[in-house]
A and B are shown apart, each in its own frame.
Chain A
Amino acid sequence: MSNIVTSEAGKKRPLLRTLEIDTRLLGMIGAFLAICLIFNLITDGRFLTPRNIFNLSIQTVSVAIMATGMVFVIVMRHIDLSVGAVLAMCSSVMGVLQVRYLPEHLGLGSAWIMPITILAGVITGALIGALNGWLIGYQKIPAFIVTLGGLLIWRNVGWYLTDGQTQGPLDQTFLLLGGVEGTVGSMVSWLLALAFSAAAIWTIWRARQAKIAHEFPVKPLWAEGALMATAVVAILGFVGILNSYAIPVGRLMREFQLRGETMPEGYVDYYGLPISVLILIVIAVVMTLVARRTRFGRYIFAAGGNPDAAELSGINTRLLTVKIFTLMGVLCALSAMVAQARLANHTNDIGTLDELRVIAAAVIGGTALAGGVGTIYGAVLGAVIMQSLQSGMAMVGVDAPFQNIVVGGVLVLAVWIDIQYRKRTGEKI
């Protein structure tokens, strides 16, 4: 806001403007809360239990990771229809390595299996992504066609790698990345929650200090305080819920037995934050930093807003295209890692239809297909909304075909609402 408007509007400014909150974000959070409350009502309180929220979180991670990359792709006016297939390809490489080759050479259960597997998966994803980007950026084949081809190609290359067989059991350390098996426990979760809260407060405070240093107008202190409080409550609340999900007694007893101890009477322990959710948080934070605070991110948005202007400003938009698709490929590999660890093996149909879920998550999260507009948090929230709808309906016992009908309808509805919103705020659609 400019100086004049600030002083003219004075104290009469609406609350949302004072807080400088994105109304679209607020709308999405509202929709999400509505979905949760409705399902909670229908299922007699089974939807909003720590157990279900835990499951929801780990089910969302795979799509959400890819959705953060899809934001960049769509912002640059491209599309990637091959993410589900690339995920399957990376997953097959990682599956074959863990099940067939690495145990043979390194010995079963070697500590090297996990890092080598992940590295190989990431390299596979990066190479496929770079190839896509080169075909799109330098050879000028439309992204729709290149990735439509990829959709047919990569899952089936993966099929040949595995001879169509399910790959399992996976490496024990690797399984920790999936979620159910790998949580950090309640103690570490609380510590992390405190660290995240401190980081949130510090970020808001530092932004304010930077504005003051340049003598820009700032929000009133209470508004900053309210934002900080909201962030802290949200972080602590989420971790608190996950920390109240108790590990079943049977599993605890098994763990004690494995260590040759007996479990004390009345012993309880809690899951806490799943490692996969931590991975998603780290990726989302890094991707947000990339989008907002790096030249690379700035160029993506500039090229999406006006490709000619970006080119005339000396930005190499072709190379930029290669970079965003490479990044997309790497994120597909990380998604594959989380997805196969959660499912405990690689199957050939892993990630089927994920391309549609990922695109839907990004679009529901406010990424405009016309390019130039999109946020990482929006895409993650979009993925959460999609997943809650899907698992809520499954919980209620809605037939699978009808679930898809609803999800499809919601996607179209979300874009329609977004268009109405943009019309009202006078944005270009």
Chain B
Amino acid sequence: MSDRGIPLVELRDISIAFGGIKAVDHVTIDLYPGEVVGLLGHNGAGKSTLIKCLSGAYQMDSGAIYINGSKAEIRNPRDARRYNIETIYQSLALADNLDAASNLFLGRELVTPLGFVDDAQMEAETRKIMGRLNPNFRKFKEPVKALSGGQRQSVAIARAVYFNAKILIMDEPTAALGPHETQMVAELIEELKAQGLGIFLIEHDIHNVMRLCDRASVMKNGQLVGTVRVGEVTDEDILGMIILGKRPDRGLC
């Protein structure tokens, strides 16, 4: 991989255990700018746990995170945001009682010169970005619990995209979406990739993986089975890695 220069993110030898169970066991993966790396595996394989070390939700027991080649200290979600790491969680992590703008800017509110939150300005910015991501979005005043699954998803995506993320983590972004919205997310991923972002994509749907990812890292029982170049392997190879933990004889990197 050295021919590609310094990786945007390198998770090196990460381990984390919960009460004696090794959820992530000495896993090393990396991500380059303009690349989508799929994270695959059964439920409980440790994908979400691994990625939460990067987003600051969990603290790893051992290992190190390198961003642009230098060691990064990520102890909480604030630290992760400082490194321009944005995460779209599977649960979407929205405060249901607040409106779209309040959720989009949660923790990073725009304020007036007097230090009060500037709701009008935030709503205007929200309308702007939503106009780009989901032009049909109209419910700016309602609490997000009044929104459909797809609309909630677009709020979560807008939040990640708005703040100039360099590293984007998406945990099953299309799980709750219809075909049309799935297509929209796919197009967005292509667009962000073209802008040079690095994207970790946790995904169960093997077709989405084949379509969207450049490389795929497969985990099983907390360990890394291997990382393959998606273009050089078949569906069956990847399924074999997920189900049997069998490393294919081609495309490994």
The interface of chain A, by Cβ under 8 A from chain B, is 1-5, 210-211, 213-214, 216, 289, 293-295, 298-299, 301-306, 308-315, 372-373, 426, 428
**Is A314's CB under 8 angstroms from B109's CB?**
no
B217: interface (CB < 8 Å): no
7 tightest A-B CB contacts, nearest first: A305-B97, A2-B138, A372-B97, A305-B95, A313-B107, A314-B78, A309-B93
Tell whether A314 pairs with B93 under 8 Å between CB atoms, given A214-B120, A309-B106, A428-B145.
no
B18: interface (CB < 8 Å): no
Complex-state Cα separation, A293 to B107, whole angstroms: 14
**Residues of the B chain whose Cβ atoms lie less than 8 Å from the Cβ of A289:** 116
B28: interface (CB < 8 Å): no
Tell whether A309 pairs with B95 under 8 Å between CB atoms, given A214-B123, A315-B107.
yes
B26: interface (CB < 8 Å): no
Sample of 12 A–B contacts (CB below 8 Å): A5-B138, A216-B120, A293-B117, A298-B109, A302-B102, A311-B57, A312-B57, A312-B87, A313-B77, A372-B96, A373-B97, A428-B96
**Residues of the B chain whose Cβ atoms lie less than 8 Å from the Cβ of A314:** 76-78, 81, 107-108
11 further interface pairs, Cβ-Cβ under 8 Å (given A214-B124, A312-B87, A426-B146): A216-B124, A298-B117, A301-B98, A306-B94, A306-B96, A309-B106, A313-B107, A314-B78, A315-B107, A372-B95, A428-B145
Complex-state Cα separation, A172 to B24, whole angstroms: 69
**Residues of the B chain whose Cβ atoms lie less than 8 Å from the Cβ of A216:** 120, 123-124
Closest chain A residue to B76, Cβ basis = A314
B141: interface (CB < 8 Å): yes
Complex-state Cα separation, A289 to B115, whole angstroms: 12
**Is A308's CB under 8 angstroms from B91's CB?**
yes
In the complex, per-residue mask of B111-128: 1 if CB is within 8 Å of any chain A CB, else 0:
100011100110110000
**Is A2's CB under 8 angstroms from B96's CB?**
no
**Is B117's CB under 8 angstroms from A304's CB?**
no
Tell whether A2 pairs with B77 under 8 Å between CB atoms, given A301-B95, A305-B96, A312-B87.
no
Tell whether A302 pairs with B106 under 8 Å between CB atoms, given A309-B95, A312-B93.
yes
Closest chain B residue to A368, Cβ basis = B97
B32: interface (CB < 8 Å): no
**Is B115's CB under 8 angstroms from A294's CB?**
yes
In the complex, per-residue mask of B83-97: 1 if CB is within 8 Å of any chain A CB, else 0:
000010101111111
